[in-house]
Amino acid sequence: MISIIIRAKNEEKWIVQTIRQIKKQTYRDFEIILVDNNSNDKTVEKAKNEYPPIKLVMIDDFLPGLAINKGIAESKGEFISILSAHCIPINNTWLETLHNNFNSKKVAGVYGRQIPMKFTSSADKRDLLVTFGLDKRVQVKDSFFHNANSMIRRDIWDKIPFDNHATNIEDRIWGKKIIKAGYHIIYEPEAEVYHHHGIHQENNKERLHNVVKIMEDLELDTSNTDVQNINNNNNEVLCLIPVKYERKNFGLVTKLLKNTVNNVKKSSLVNKILVVTDNKILMDEAIKLGVESPFLRPKKLSAKKIRVDDVLGYSLKKLEDDGYYPDIVVSLEIVYPFRPDDLVDQLIIELIEKGLDTVITGFPEYRIAWAEKEKGSDYKRIDDFNTSKQERDLIHIANPGVGCVTYPHIIRENNRIGGRIGIHELNSQIPFLKVEDNIDLDKLNSINILGQ
């Protein structure tokens, strides 16, 4: 048996992807042990939901070597694979490839290749590309070892455990002891994982960017890694559509709801569509459209001052309390019926490929603009209209109601907007036209473009 030790703290964004890739491995005789450093997000819940047999080891004061040792102490395997929660195995032979290197009793440990993601910073890409090359090697004198993606023999760990007191580089300390004891370490480039950050401190960013560009040109297989396919296939994507009952506009509301649902159904990446409403009739309408509406939101969440974000936060909590843990959350408001057919998938792909926290639909604004800090105060000019259009700093106008994609830990805080924002620009402003009542609809129906 192989025991897979995963160390984590607040890794809900990555833990499910990592476990799902482990579950696809050709080598089937394994157990997973999660060593968690008191995560205050949904790391533990999501890990248990994705892989119920998982063993959980909780630690309070994190030291890297101590965490590994505690995990191994609870394991049964003859071999121990050590994996960071945010290191995602690339293929289904990752575990088998690591294990196949232990033909000699001289081999104490094997570590695999770490490949940067498309959105990894230049400094971190440089680190990973320099450190983890394409040539396999047997290290007889070189003590370098990196346990973010590795495997060791349990019988050797019994004699040479990791340092319980080291604050970092516990793997290098262990490697030095291993080589000194006469054992070998193998670097296996075929055992690959995606790793979104590097292993050294950042330096001059402009210089690093140029170095990485050269390295990517030389090593096309690393720059063209298809993290999108892994993430798109693995992510559980939830689309939340909040709908409020309005008696006088009920017919229009049902038409707008149908329009939005049909738009989302064209997505190849959304797994679940859920309508969140305060009315039983609208709930039934959603079910007729072939989507879910498992609960009514409280009437207080339909008050005028309530934000859509509050409704989304309430809905996600209800779902997670019932054991459903999405990886990505899409939110759409029905009052924008003119969104493009492929918009939802474009937003999801941009979120994944660029490593963003949130992607919102928007448009670039080149015209004159002012900001009013307080009601009735003087306006402050915020544009650069005096220069040519090509030289101006764009003002980006975003509208999350047309389309917004983000992660559960952000929605959980009654918010849709995370730290790293992407604005998905639409060339036309038609998708931003809002239809809130029949008056709006009549105005749109009466438009006669250019007298035709």
Q: Which fold has domain 235-445?
A: Spore Coat Polysaccharide Biosynthesis Protein SpsA; Chain A (3.90.550)
Residues 169-190: pLDDT tens digits?
A: 899 999 999 999 999 999 999 9
pLDDT of residue 427: 84
Closest-CA residue to 417 (of 400, 393, 396): 400
pLDDT of residue 216: 53
Structure-token pair, residue 227: 């993290």
In this structure, CATH architecture of domain 2-232 = Alpha-Beta Complex (3.90)
With residue 266 as reference, give the H or E element that holds it.
Answer: none
Which three-class secondary structure state does DSSP give residue 332? coil
Which three-class secondary structure state does DSSP give residue 83? strand
Band of the pLDDT at 439, cuts 50, 70, 90? confident
When comparing pLDDT for 381 and 288, which is higher? 288
Residues 228-246: pLDDT tens digits?
A: 455 555 789 999 999 988 8
With residue 109 as reference, give the H or E element that holds it.
Answer: strand 107-115
pLDDT of residue 449: 45
- Asked which of 73-77, 354-358, 409-413, 443-447 is least confident by mean pLDDT, the reply is 443-447
pLDDT of residue 152: 97
pLDDT of residue 258: 95
Q: What are phi and psi of 180, to 5 degrees?
A: -65, -30
Give the mean model confidence (pLDDT) for residues 248-259. 90
Give the mean model confidence (pLDDT) for residues 416-421. 91
Closest-CA residue to 233 (of 23, 375, 376): 23
pLDDT of residue 424: 94
- Whether 235-445 and 2-232 are alike in CATH topology: the answer is yes
Are residues 324 and 315 in contact, defined by beta-carbon separation less than 8 angstroms?
A: no
- Which of the residue ranges 15-19, 369-373, 380-384 has the most confident prediction, judged by mean pLDDT? 15-19
pLDDT of residue 436: 80
Separation of alpha carbons 300 and 308, rounded Å: 12
Which string of DSSP letters, residue by residue, matches 226-261? -HHHHHHHH--EEEEEEE---STTHHHHHHHHHHHH
Q: How does the average pLDDT of the chain come out, rounded? A: 87
Residues 90-136: pLDDT tens digits?
A: 999 999 999 999 999 999 999 999 998 888 878 788 888 888 889 99
Beta strands in 246-308 (DSSP E): 272-277
Residues 292-301: pLDDT tens digits?
A: 999 999 989 9
When comparing pLDDT for 218 and 90, which is higher? 90
Separation of alpha carbons 149 and 18, rounded Å: 12
Domain extent listing, the chain: 2-232, 235-445
**pTM, 2 dp:** 0.81
